[in-house]
A and B are shown apart, each in its own frame.
Chain A
Amino acid sequence: MKEDFLAVVEQKRFLGREFLTWLVWTIEEGGGRIERDGDIVELQLGDRLTLAGTGADKARLTVAGAGDLRAEMGAGLRRGKLLDQARLAILRGERRWELSLDGGLLTYDGLRCPALGPHDAASPEDRRAAFENDLYLRLADVDDAVGVLDRLFAEFCRARGGSSWRTRTLPALRLWVDQLGT
Chain B
Amino acid sequence: MGVLSASTSVVRLIAAPPARIQREALAAAVSRHAFREPDLELGDRRESSGWVGIHDPLVTELGPADLFVQHYLVVGFRWDLRAVPPKLLWLERRRLEAERCAERGVERLSAPERKEIKEEVAQRLMTRALPVPRLFDCIWNLDTGRVYFTGKVRAAREAFSECFRQTFGVVPVPLIPYLAAEHVGLDAQHVETLRAVEPASLVAEEAPRVRDDVPRLPLEPEEARE
Give the size of the chain B interface in residues (CB under 8 angstroms). Answer: 44
With a CB–CB cut-off of 8 A, which chain A residues contact B69?
A: 132, 135-136
Q: Which secondary structure dominates where chain A touches chain B? A: helix
Q: Which of A73-119 contact B (CB under 8 A)?
A: 77-80, 82, 103-112, 116
Q: How far is the CB of B79 from chain A (nearest CB, A)?
A: 16
Most chain B Cβ neighbours within 10 Å, of A116, A157, A160: A157
Q: Is the CB of B12 within 8 A of A138?
A: no
Whether B203 lies near A157 (C-beta < 8 A) is no
**B144's closest neighbor in chain A, by CB?**
A143
Report whether A77 and B202 are in contact in the complex, using a CB–CB cutoff of 8 Å. Answer: yes
Contact across chains for B202 and A82 when beta carbons are under 8 A apart? yes
Contacts A8-B178, A21-B202 given; indicate if A160 touches B7 (C-beta within 8 A).
no
| Contacts A135-B74, A139-B72; A161 near B193 (Cβ below 8 A) | yes
B219 is an interface residue with CB less than 8 A from chain A: no
Binds A, one of B37-45, B94-102, B119-127, B183-191: B183-191
The CA of A15 and the CA of B199, in the complex, are separated in Å by: 7
CB distance from A159 to the nearest CB of B (A): 10
Chain B, residues 116-154, CB within 8 Å of chain A (1/0): the string is: 000000000000000000000001000000001000100
User: Nearest Cβ distance between residue B7 and chain A, in whole angstroms?
Assistant: 5
Q: Beta-carbon contacts of A15-44 to B below 8 Å, as 1s and 0s?
A: 110110100000000000000000000000
The reply on B204 being an interface residue by CB < 8 A is yes
- Interface flags for B23-55 (1: CB within 8 Å of A; 0: not) read 000000000000000000000000000000011
Cross-chain pairs A/B with CB under 8 angstroms, 15 sampled: A1-B161, A16-B176, A77-B203, A105-B11, A106-B176, A107-B9, A107-B10, A111-B8, A134-B4, A139-B72, A146-B10, A150-B184, A153-B177, A153-B181, A157-B181
Interface residues of A (CB under 8 A from B): 1, 5, 8-9, 12-16, 18-19, 21, 54-55, 77-80, 82, 103-112, 116, 128, 131-132, 134-136, 138-139, 142, 146, 150-151, 153-154, 157-158, 160-161, 165, 170, 173-175, 177-178
Given contact pairs A1-B161, A15-B197, A132-B69, enumerate 12 new A-B contacts (beta carbons under 8 Å). Answer: A8-B178, A9-B178, A12-B177, A12-B195, A15-B194, A106-B175, A106-B177, A107-B11, A107-B12, A150-B180, A160-B194, A161-B190
